[in-house]
Amino acid sequence: MAEVTLKNVGKRWGSFVGVDNFDLTIADKEFLVLLGPSGCGKTTTMRMIAGLENASEGDILIGGKRVNDMEPKDRDVAMVFQSYALYPNMTVYDNIRFPLKVRGVDSSTHDEKVRRASAMVELDDFLHRKPSELSGGQRQRVALARAIVREPNVFLMDEPLSNLDAKLRVSTRAQIKNLSHELAVTTIYVTHDQIEAMTLADRVVVMKNGVVQQIGSPTEIYDNPVNIFVASFIGSPAMNLIDGHVQDGTFRASHVEIPGLSVPDGPLTLGFRAEDSGIAAPGQGQINAPIYTLELLGDATMISVRVGGVLVSVKADKNFRAEIDDMVSISVPQEICHLFDGQTGVRIE
Ligand code: ATP
């Protein structure tokens, strides 16, 4: 049972707050993703769990035991880094075996454990090679196998895919997802890539400037972002966000008029997702503007229009035909709209 609890955990360097009041229980076997832009405090949070960084305040519990004062090696966590951190002079086999030797695990079990872990990441045929003789994806799999072989209570993964090219990232991501299902070990995974977060996580923690913005399942965060920051960070393309004004239940901005909103008069940021809207019959939609650009995606055509200084995208049928500067009418019914306070950026229910 390896539940991980962070009770009001914070990290300060002098007056600088790296992580502020992080409060969360990660369930046994849960796959939790810490997501946010560079510098938001996700790595620091994970390093505090690993014991590589001291928490300035709060309690960290692993399996119900307070670990704040425990050495990293005693915390029963295994870390996988972006940089792989393999020993260049050792073979793949010895790299994977290394943690067993260091921990004094009965040597008669090593071979079986190394072979089982390497089979899980499909490295069986590479055990005799040195890291320099492997591709980036294979090296990352050695790092994964080296974590697996330890049979830890918690996996900590810090941007493990970010050194891989786009194609390998997708296949290795799938492998990590499958492995986590097979191993059923609590996993905390750091990334700035929202697609990784959405595809891997049971729950996502979105962070900004050391502060947790939202915690929820990928669907919850996609469907109900609590503020503009989360709304613009999750989803591809990013949610369309238009600043405007509401009067008598109608939102207006240049080229935009959306009636039927039950919100008070005043400034409002209106959001909607490209995939939720579509092309309307001429003049029948809520946004009417000239086409700025068209992108053929294969399964759809992405149309962008410029509305009050921002680009707004809408997914049209793959057979939609038009030219740049043609007028287009975009359907933005009230049901697909996300409404955010025009001043604070907080979602309005
Ligand atoms: P990235 O994706 O770039 O790794 P991150 O979200 O993981 O970013 P952290 O590495 O956790 O961010 O850093 C959070 C903040 O704390 C950053 O602003 C960083 O500059 C600062 N920071 C990290 N380590 C130290 C340190 N030893 N001393 C002072 N500030 C630090």
pLDDT surpassing 80 at residue 84: no
| pLDDT mean over 135-151 | 89
Question: Is the same domain home to 130 and 11?
Answer: yes
Question: Is the same domain home to 160 and 217?
Answer: yes
Residue nearest ligand 1's atom 20 by CA: 39
Query: Is the shortest distance between the CB of 13 and ligand 1 below 6 Å?
Result: yes
pLDDT surpassing 90 at residue 254: yes
Query: Is the shortest distance between the CB of 14 and ligand 1 below 6 Å?
Result: no
190-234: pLDDT as tens digits: 999 999 999 999 999 999 999 999 999 999 999 999 999 999 999
Least confident interval from 143-152, 275-284, 315-324: 143-152
Residue nearest ligand 1's atom 30 by CA: 13
Where residue 306 falls among pLDDT bands split at 50, 70, 90? Answer: very high
Comparison of pLDDT for 349 and 225, the residue scoring more: 225
Least confident interval from 6-10, 160-164, 283-287: 160-164
pLDDT surpassing 90 at residue 294: yes
pLDDT surpassing 90 at residue 181: no
Residue 348 maps to a domain: no
What is the span of the domain harbouring residue 273? 240-341
Structure tokens at 64: 């119900």
pLDDT surpassing 70 at residue 349: no
Where residue 309 falls among pLDDT bands split at 50, 70, 90? Answer: confident
Query: Is the shortest distance between the CB of 18 and ligand 1 below 6 Å?
Result: yes
Question: Is the same domain home to 282 and 169?
Answer: no
Domain end position, chosen among 198, 233, 268: 233
Q: How many domains does the chain have?
A: 2
pLDDT surpassing 90 at residue 11: yes
Comparison of pLDDT for 117 and 204, the residue scoring more: 204
- Separation of 25 CA from ligand 1 center, angstroms? 23
The pLDDT mean for the chain works out to 93
Nearest atom in ligand 1 to the alpha carbon of residue 44 is 11
User: Residue 76: which CATH number?
Assistant: 3.40.50.300
Residue 219 maps to a domain: yes
User: Residue 261: which CATH number?
Assistant: 2.40.50.140
Question: Is the same domain home to 174 and 60?
Answer: yes
- Cα 196–Cα 199–Cα 200 angle in degrees, nearest 5: 80
Cis amide bond preceding 290, omega within 30: no
Question: Is the same domain home to 266 and 134?
Answer: no
Residue nearest ligand 1's atom 28 by CA: 13
Residue nearest ligand 1's atom 17 by CA: 39
Nearest atom in ligand 1 to the alpha carbon of residue 192 is 2
In terms of Cα–Cα distance, which of 79, 91, 157 is closest to 118?
Answer: 91
Per-residue model confidence (pLDDT) at position 112? 93
Query: Is the shortest distance between the CB of 41 and ligand 1 below 6 Å?
Result: yes
Residue 308 maps to a domain: yes
Structure tokens at 197: 């977060």
Q: Do the beta carbons of residue 50 and residue 43 sit within 8 Å?
A: no
Among 42, 190, 207, residue to substitute to test ligand 1 (most atoms within 8 Å of Cβ): 42
| pLDDT mean over 30-38 | 96
Comparison of pLDDT for 47 and 135, the residue scoring more: 47
Where residue 172 falls among pLDDT bands split at 50, 70, 90? Answer: confident
Nearest atom in ligand 1 to the alpha carbon of residue 47 is 11
- Separation of 150 CA from ligand 1 center, angstroms? 28
Query: Is the shortest distance between the CB of 154 and ligand 1 below 6 Å?
Result: no
Domain end position, chosen among 191, 208, 233: 233
Distance CA 43, CA 55 (A): 13
pLDDT surpassing 90 at residue 165: no
Domain end position, chosen among 233, 253, 284: 233
| pLDDT mean over 121-143 | 90
